[in-house]
Amino acid sequence: MTAVVHSVPRAADLPAATIRTKVTVPLRFPDGYSTSADVMTFHGLADGREHLLLALGAWEQGLLDGQSAPLVRLHSECMTGDVFGSERCDCGPQLREAVEGIASAGGFLLYLRQEGRGIGLYSKLDAYALQDRGLDTYDANLALGHGEDERDYSAAAQMLGALGTTTVRLLSNNPDKAAQAAARGIGIEQQIPTGVHLSEANSRYLAAKRDRTGHTLELDQAGVAHPAQAARGLQRTPDVLASVEALVPGLRARAEETEQRRRLPAVTVQELQDAGVFRILPPAAVGGYALGARIYGEAVRVLARGDASTAWTAGHLAEHAWMLARWPRDVQAEVFANGQVPLAAATSAPVGLARKVPGGYSISGHWSFASGVMHSRWALLAVHLDSVRLQALVPVADLELVDAWHTDGLRGTGSNDLRADRLFVPDYRVMEWALLAGPDNPGSLIHPDPLIHTPMATLLNLVAPAVAVGSAEYALELFRDQLLVPRKKNGSEVRQADSVMAQARYARASGALAAAQMHWQAALSLLPPEGHGSGIPEAQRASFRLSLALSAEASQEAVRLAAGGSGGSMHRLSHPLQRIQRDVGVLLNHPTLGIDPILEQAGRGLLGLGFTAQSF
């Protein structure tokens, strides 16, 4: 590996730069992702070039609270990749990935005018010609009389300094960027690799970066490692359940904030992404882990031990990514571009209307209960064309978002309404629901993963009971802690746990929770082992749905008993048990837990009479 040598000015030698202008610019990328950036220019930059800083997400709040270092990418200009989409490098996809990641976490993208590793656009194209004759990207630069890498990050340090930023989380695969930034007085709290963006045209280029200058690129015999592994530094078979378990204390600490915001805080969404939650179900070919329905259900249950709204939202967003992997190849190429797992809301109530028009469909409707829409780029909308139910895939930016989620429970899910009036959707982004929901969906022709063949209803029915059981587990934990805490009464220390009535109530609540957990495990045991089968045999579907419904019902009873024995303070809205009780109350009204139709269909199935509901 060749070291890149620079003459690095010390931090003390750099003059201070000042902000020249700041203007807000809306951004929209070709794949439909949109956000806005505060774009800043500067006076006094060391090299005199017109570098830009794009401040994204909640960057101002991050500077004020100082609790975590901002996420920062030092991105060198690449006209061929950033503007024209050249696949000879990975610059364009890295730019796109960085903008979304930084917008979610809060931080800065520095767009540095250092084309071709500092040698300029014409020289870079000359180097391309030499690469076509067999030289790698570094030897081509040397053959032209340039250095391997002539970039200097002094101006970047000045730009960050002008904002008072001295410590960053650096989004980069390049060790030289971290070394130069540190030498210029910028502390590196963490270096986070970007994704590995492979194309047939850039495989030699990526290998040269790995071998010549130590870029953290995990290339294997096929050319590239799993995109999520490179992007997040995860192992090939990540222990998602352990990662989710580690999130629980933070989710509890932010539960009240989540409820008040009526959406997940940005830090929660980032933690879910980092833990790999959204990658649990999609197949490996699109950046998922394909861990199966059991681990998915258990992950949602564990998240609910932290916060029900977070578990509900995360469960559905993960499930919808799996749903998108059932679409045809052209849609998957669009939504899973560059190894990104898409966040998509889905709603079918009420069903909208579709009309066939040249090249696609015109859709209209007002859809409710779009859980996770506040964090989504895409929306999956149910529409009717005559008597045929279709699903339309639409960028959220093309829809009107209606602030309608004002509820007593699950408030943090942000399950707002969506509206469209004669919105055009191209043909390739509209499919028949029956085809997508069934085992022989278009994605089943692409991916060998058996879960893609699983009928969609199997996973759609898991989220609500998983959240109910996890919430009940948290409620019993709170109840137990409350019973055991000593309190002063008439000069003596007493515990509620020493009361016979409290002991009896806790025993009943524990029994209800045990019943809920047993029903939950009974349902999971009916799922086929990961890598085998494509769903639950019809003879066992009645037991599966019945066990899920009974687990939720027993969870609600456990929560009721815990809340009833927790005294008047429990009725404060900020009390976790108050929130859990309201959340579980809303859960039990969800159609997937409607006990009367479930009992009817389960009874028919157990008696061998056949189901009359297609979704059962």
pLDDT score for 224: 36
> With pLDDT > 70 as the criterion, what percentage of the chain qualifies?
92
What DSSP character marks residue 377?
S
On the question of pLDDT at 534 being above 80, the answer is no
Domain stop point among 269, 303, 338: 338
> With pLDDT > 90 as the criterion, what percentage of the chain qualifies?
59
- Residue 201 binned pLDDT confidence (cut-offs 50, 70, 90): confident
Residue 388 falls inside a structural domain: yes
Convert 297-333 to b/e letters by CB count within 10 Å (16 or more is b): bbbbbbbbbbbbbbbbbbbbbbbbbbbbbbbbeebbe
Q: Which of 143-157, 229-243, 557-571, 598-612 has maximum average pLDDT?
A: 143-157
Domain stop point among 167, 192, 225: 225
Question: What is the torsion angle, in degrees rounded to the nearest 10, for the CA atoms of residue 199, residue 331, residue 33 and residue 68?
Answer: -70
Give the containing element (helix H, strand E) for 263.
Answer: none
Which residues contact residue 194 at a Cβ distance below 8 angstroms, ignoring those fewer than 6 apart? 73, 94, 97, 98, 171, 172, 173, 230, 231
Same domain, 378 and 309: no
Cα 221-227-229 angle, rounded to 5 deg: 90
- Enumerate the active-site residues: 149, 151
Residue with tokens 């730009």: 159
For residue 77, is it left (φ>0), alpha (ψ between -120 and 50) or beta?
Answer: beta
pLDDT score for 131: 86
d(CA 273, CA 101): 10
Q: What is the CATH number of the domain that holds 304?
A: 1.10.540.10
Residue 230, SS3?
A: helix
Same domain, 57 and 172: yes
Residue 217, SS3?
A: coil
pLDDT score for 286: 87
Residue 555 falls inside a structural domain: yes
On the question of pLDDT at 321 being above 70, the answer is yes
Residue 305 falls inside a structural domain: yes
Q: What is the CATH number of the domain that holds 477?
A: 1.20.140.10
d(CA 601, CA 606): 9
pLDDT score for 223: 36
Edge to edge, the sheet with strand 400-402 lists 400-402, 416-426, 360-370, 344-357, 378-385, 388-395, 430-432
Same domain, 191 and 298: no
For 565, the domain range is 461-606
pLDDT score for 214: 80
136-191 per-position pLDDT tens digit = 888 888 889 999 999 999 999 999 999 999 899 999 988 889 889 988 989 998 88
8-40 per-position pLDDT tens digit = 555 456 889 999 999 999 998 887 788 899 999
d(CA 264, CA 280): 19
- Residue 575 binned pLDDT confidence (cut-offs 50, 70, 90): confident
- DSSP β-ladder status, 486-489 and 430-432: unpaired
d(CA 351, CA 359): 22
Same domain, 190 and 203: yes
Cα 120-124-127 angle, rounded to 5 deg: 145
Q: What is the CATH number of the domain that holds 431?
A: 2.40.110.10
pLDDT average, residue stretch 233-237: 37
For residue 436, is it left (φ>0), alpha (ψ between -120 and 50) or beta?
Answer: alpha
Q: Cβ distance 563 to 472 under 8 Å?
A: no
Amino acid (1-letter code) at residue 538: E
CB atoms within 10 A of CB 149: 23
- Residue 64 binned pLDDT confidence (cut-offs 50, 70, 90): low
Cα 604-610-613 angle, rounded to 5 deg: 85
pLDDT score for 530: 61
Q: Is the dihedral of CA 169, 173, 176, 177 positive or negative?
A: negative
Convert 182-191 to b/e letters by CB count within 10 Å (16 or more is b): ebbebebeeb
pLDDT average, residue stretch 188-202: 80
d(CA 427, CA 440): 20
CB atoms within 10 A of CB 249: 10
Same domain, 291 and 331: yes
pLDDT average, residue stretch 390-415: 96
Poorest-confidence range of 23-27, 29-33, 240-244, 452-456? 29-33
pLDDT score for 59: 86
Q: Cβ distance 289 to 276 under 8 Å?
A: yes
Domain stop point among 296, 323, 338: 338
pLDDT average, residue stretch 67-83: 91
d(CA 37, CA 20): 16
What's the chain's average pLDDT? 88
pLDDT score for 496: 84
pLDDT average, residue stretch 440-449: 87
Token pair listed for 172: 């980069």
- Residue 54 binned pLDDT confidence (cut-offs 50, 70, 90): very high
Residue 121 falls inside a structural domain: no
Token pair listed for 171: 């989004």
Residue 215, SS3?
A: coil
Same domain, 199 and 70: yes
497-531 per-position pLDDT tens digit = 888 998 999 999 999 999 999 999 999 999 876 64
Residue with tokens 């045209």: 201
d(CA 2, CA 410): 55
Q: What is the CATH number of the domain that holds 78?
A: 3.40.50.10990
Long-range contacts at 16-20 (CB < 8 A, ≥ 24 apart):
16/44, 16/158, 16/161, 16/162, 17/42, 17/43, 17/44, 17/45, 17/155, 17/158, 17/159, 17/161, 17/162, 18/42, 18/43, 18/44, 18/162, 19/43, 19/162, 19/163
Convert 72-110 to b/e letters by CB count within 10 Å (16 or more is b): bbbbbbbebbbeeebbbbbbbbbbbbbbbbbbbbbbbbb
pLDDT score for 62: 66
Cα 399-402-404 angle, rounded to 5 deg: 150
Same domain, 475 and 598: yes
Same domain, 36 and 184: yes
Q: Measured in Å, how far apart are the chain's first and last C-alpha atoms? A: 59
85-122 per-position pLDDT tens digit = 998 998 999 999 999 889 888 899 999 999 999 999 99
Token pair listed for 123: 């020289």
The domain total for the chain is 4
Residue 68 falls inside a structural domain: yes
Same domain, 270 and 292: yes
On the question of pLDDT at 416 being above 90, the answer is yes
Residue 541 falls inside a structural domain: yes
d(CA 138, CA 293): 46
pLDDT average, residue stretch 263-268: 95
Same domain, 204 and 255: no
Residue 444 falls inside a structural domain: no
On the question of pLDDT at 326 being above 80, the answer is yes
Q: What is the pTM of this model?
A: 0.64
Residue 330 falls inside a structural domain: yes
Q: How far is CA 162 from CA 54, 60, 335, in A?
A: 13, 14, 37
pLDDT average, residue stretch 223-251: 63
Radius of gyration over every alpha carbon of the chain, rounded to an integer in angstroms? 27
Same domain, 506 and 544: yes
- Residue 611 binned pLDDT confidence (cut-offs 50, 70, 90): confident
Same domain, 256 and 318: yes
pLDDT score for 537: 79
